[in-house]
């Protein structure tokens, strides 16, 4: 149990370094970070219910995960070849598509939760 816990904690180091590196270098992730901060501020201001926090947290987490996986795939693809390759184009496009789908889902969740509350206030 103690060894298992120690290895779990040790694996946080590289994982956090990966997030930090991606945040420093990837403009899209910086945009997601800004959107996440805005979401949290708005959430506290509007007093979201627990289930609403669950929905927006899950939606934001999926977008972060998709963007980080997209970044990982881009790094690996560029390591494989910097030449124009059909397979690399398809792989990068599919990974970018995953981010797009996650972002569309998150936008839908955000609109459904935040819009009615903002509407009442305005």
Ligand X SMILES: Nc1ncnc2c1ncn2[C@@H]1O[C@H](COP(=O)(O)OP(=O)(O)OP(=O)(O)O)[C@@H](O)[C@H]1O
Annotated binding-site members for ATP: 74, 92-93
The CA-atom distances, in angstroms, between 91 and each of 54, 75, 98 are: 31, 12, 11
Q: Are 115 and 52 in contact (CB under 8 A)?
A: no
Q: Does 56 bind ligand X (CB under 6 A)?
A: no
Nearer to ligand X, 71 or 113 (CB): 71
Q: Does 85 bind ligand X (CB under 6 A)?
A: yes
Q: Are 105 and 59 in contact (CB under 8 A)?
A: yes
Sign, CA torsion 9/10/13/15: negative
Q: Are 70 and 99 in contact (CB under 8 A)?
A: yes
In the annotation, is 67 catalytic?
yes
State the number of binding residues for ligand X (CB under 6 A): 12
Q: Does 84 bind ligand X (CB under 6 A)?
A: yes
CB of residue 14 vs ligand X: minimum separation in angstroms?
Answer: 21
**Which window, 2-10, 14-22, 88-96, 104-112, contacts ligand X (CB under 6 A)?**
88-96
Give binding residues as ranges. 67, 74, 92-93
Q: Are 99 and 28 in contact (CB under 8 A)?
A: yes
DSSP 8-state symbol, 82: S
Q: Does 88 bind ligand X (CB under 6 A)?
A: yes
Residues 94-113 that bind ligand X (CB under 6 A): 96
Catalytic residues: 67
């Amino acid at each position: 149990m103690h060894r298992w816990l120690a290895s779990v904690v040790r694996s946080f180091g590289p994982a956090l370094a990966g997030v930090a590196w991606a945040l420093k270098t990837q403009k899209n992730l910086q945009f997601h970070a800004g959107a996440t901060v805005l979401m949290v501020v708005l959430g506290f201001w509007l007093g979201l219910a627990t289930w609403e926090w669950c929905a927006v947290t899950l939606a934001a987490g999926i977008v972060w995960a998709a963007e980080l996986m997209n970044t990982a795939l881009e790094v690996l693809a560029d390591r494989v070849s910097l030449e124009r390759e059909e397979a690399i184009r398809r792989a990068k496009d599919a990974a970018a598509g995953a981010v797009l789908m996650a972002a569309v889902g998150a936008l839908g969740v955000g609109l459904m939760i935040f819009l009615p509350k903002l509407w009442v206030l305005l």
